[in-house]
Structure 1
């Protein structure tokens, strides 16, 4: 799992990238904290996906990205070669 802080036009965005099976368990705990609604406040979460590019086959989702104001979780999904 990789952690970094990205500066986008003066805003700091905490970024976590999970890209292997060992990260799945840890990532699920981070995701639970990410979507938690402590204090019953409004929280807007953006969702973005990207698909693997394969010739002649139906493309499968390869990347899941969830972001709120200051945090971005990027999960690289396992795409099996068929």
Structure 2
């Protein structure tokens, strides 16, 4: 769902064009954006961000897929947004 750039590689946003091409509704794209905003732009560590996402966002297949992917990652996830892009 995301775009990455820079050196070292880091989060720069979601791939909204790709999501639209794959048939995601505008509401779903906003939901995914909100999830990644909490994860990468709110200065929480990953554990805190996942807790907030679970507590504050409605359970949906997309939300659960993102949470499961992050929790089951053996190598972690890319660094967060630095604002210098």
TM-score normalized with structure 2 length: 0.33
Structure with more of its chain in helix, by fraction: 2
Of structures 1 and 2, the one scoring higher in RCO (CA 8 A, sep 6+) is 2
Larger Rg: 1
